[in-house]
């Protein structure tokens, strides 16, 4: 089953654009449709209590709404219609709480979404130490596969049950293809990019979270201000490349326009598999291969152009 989940989720992530809710839903929806009618779909249905992967792909982000007041606060996003899943999510959140005390033995669930490997010199995951960790996205994906295969007990210290493993995979396969989820730039005090794995220390941009981006600043109406470069890539690249900027669609029509564009994209990927998307070998090794894809696709080229443009300003 594991292989099919990963295969199917990877199908879209190779070429489309995941990461914000819209992108994650698209990845999950394609997996739902590719798996429909298979025994794997039945197993997922049982594990997720009928929640489709399209919706489940958002849950790893949804539980961040518990970060401020804890999972007992009713104001966050909850799954009360699925009490067993709600309980497992609470246990998972409590075993991996966010905050300053996060450590290798008690990691933050946030860490499982990314790496901060330096972008300078286009390092591979195994090339250095900076920005990697035992609970980053490259380690979390094979861990989840281990749980689904029964190699790791469900009652593990991270409280990643089979259900949580599917929830995390449905999300992380999208995240690992987002360039800013697999790379960060580091700067010295003069603001020059440095490679922290080569003996120099500096400040990282946290995958673009520490950078502000003003898009189209010289236009007559400089409307687009993104609070972070990371958020721009998570959210707006998906919209801009598939649907158009929100400003191009009247507010009242946005929901239906987005739904139509999303459906068209999903149907297209279900009908036309991208070439060379299949990854050979053991699925446990795929996270590291996906890491490289996230950093070497045309997404990454586009990111480099944006960063260079920023530097010239
Ligand atoms: Zn994420």
Please enumerate, as own/partner, the contacts of 201-209 that have beta carbons within 8 Å and a separation of 24 or more: 204/116, 204/131, 205/229, 206/116, 206/230, 207/114, 207/116, 207/180, 207/181, 207/183, 208/180, 208/184, 208/232, 208/233
What pLDDT is recorded for position 7?
A: 43
Q: How far is the CA of 190 from the centre of ligand 1 (A)?
A: 31
At residue 13, the pLDDT reads: 44
CA distance 153 to 247: 49
Measured in Å, residue 18 CA sits from the centre of ligand 1 at 9
Separation of 220 CA from ligand 1 center, angstroms?
34
- pLDDT mean over 64-90: 95
Distance CA 75, CA 234 (A): 24
The pLDDT score that the predictor gives to residue 18 is 46
pLDDT of the residue at 305: 58
| Share above pLDDT 90 across residues of the chain, in percent, rounded to a whole number | 42
Task: Please tell me which residue, 274 or 51, carries the higher pLDDT value.
Answer: 51
| Nearest alpha-carbon partner for 11 in 147, 177, 260 | 177
Find, among 181, 141, 175, the residue nearest to 5 by Cα. Answer: 141
pLDDT at 191: 84
- HEC-encoded secondary structure of 113-151: HCCCCECHHHCCHHHCCCCCCCCCHHHHHHHHHHHHHCC
Expressed in angstroms and rounded, the spacing between residue 260 Cα and the centre of ligand 1 is: 24
Cα–Cα distance measured from residue 207 to residue 186, given in angstroms and rounded to the nearest whole number? 10
Q: Which of 105-109, 151-155, 232-236 has the highest mean pLDDT?
A: 151-155
- What is the average per-residue pLDDT within 8-31? 67
Angstrom distance (rounded) from CA 179 to CA 132: 15
Instruction: State in Å: Cα 41 to ligand 1 middle.
Output: 23
In the structure, what pLDDT confidence band is assigned to residue 236 with cuts at 50, 70 and 90?
confident
Mean pLDDT in residue range 16-25: 69
pLDDT tens readout for residues 32-47: 999 999 999 999 999 9
b/e map 135-156, b = 16+ CB within 10 Å: bbbbbbbbbbbbbbeeebeeee
Ligand 1 centroid to Cα of residue 256, in Å, is: 25
d(CA 27, CA 18): 7
Tens digit of each residue's pLDDT (9 = 90 or more) over 179-211: 888 888 888 888 888 888 887 788 888 888 888
pLDDT at 212 over 90: no
Distance CA 55, CA 24 (A): 9
The residue segments making up the domain with residue 183 are 2-312
Least confident of 65-69, 73-77, 103-107, 234-238: 234-238
Specify the pLDDT at position 8: 45
The CATH code of the domain that includes 261 is 1.10.575.10
Which residues crowd ion ligand 1, with CB under 5 Å?
113, 175
How many domains in the chain? 1
């Amino acid at each position: 089953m594991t292989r099919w989940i990963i295969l199917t989720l990877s199908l879209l992530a190779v070429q489309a654009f995941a990461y914000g809710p819209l992108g994650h839903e698209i990845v999950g929806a394609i997996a739902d449709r590719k798996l429909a009618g298979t025994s794997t779909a039945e197993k997922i249905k049982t594990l997720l209590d009928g929640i489709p992967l399209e919706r489940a792909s958002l849950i790893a982000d949804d539980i961040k709404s518990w970060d401020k007041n804890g999972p007992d606060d009713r104001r966050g996003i909850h799954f009360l219609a699925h009490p067993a899943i709600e309980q497992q999510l609470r246990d998972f959140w409590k075993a991996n709480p966010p905050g300053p005390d996060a450590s290798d033995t008690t990691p933050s669930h946030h860490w499982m979404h990314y790496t901060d490997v330096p972008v300078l010199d286009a390092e591979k995951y195994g090339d250095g130490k900076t920005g990697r960790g035992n609970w980053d996205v490259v380690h979390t994906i094979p861990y989840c596969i281990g749980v689904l295969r029964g190699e790791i007990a469900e009652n593990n210290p991270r409280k990643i049950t089979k259900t949580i493993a599917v929830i995390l995979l449905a999300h992380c396969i999208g995240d690992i293809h987002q360039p800013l989820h697999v790379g960060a730039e580091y700067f010295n005090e003069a603001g020059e990019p440095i490679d922290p794995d080569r003996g120099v220390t500096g400040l990282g941009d946290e995958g673009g979270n520490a950078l502000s981006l003003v898009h189209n600043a010289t236009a007559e109406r400089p409307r687009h201000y993104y609070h972070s470069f990371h958020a721009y890539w998570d959210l707006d690249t998906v919209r801009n490349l598939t649907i158009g900027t929100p400003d191009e669609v009247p507010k009242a029509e946005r929901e239906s326009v987005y739904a139509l564009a999303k459906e068209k994209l999903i149907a297209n990927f279900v009908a036309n598999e991208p070439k060379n998307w299949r990854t050979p070998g053991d699925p446990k090794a795929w996270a590291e291969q996906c890491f490289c894809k996230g950093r070497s696709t045309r997404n990454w080229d586009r990111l480099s152009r944006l960063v260079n443009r920023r530097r010239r300003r």
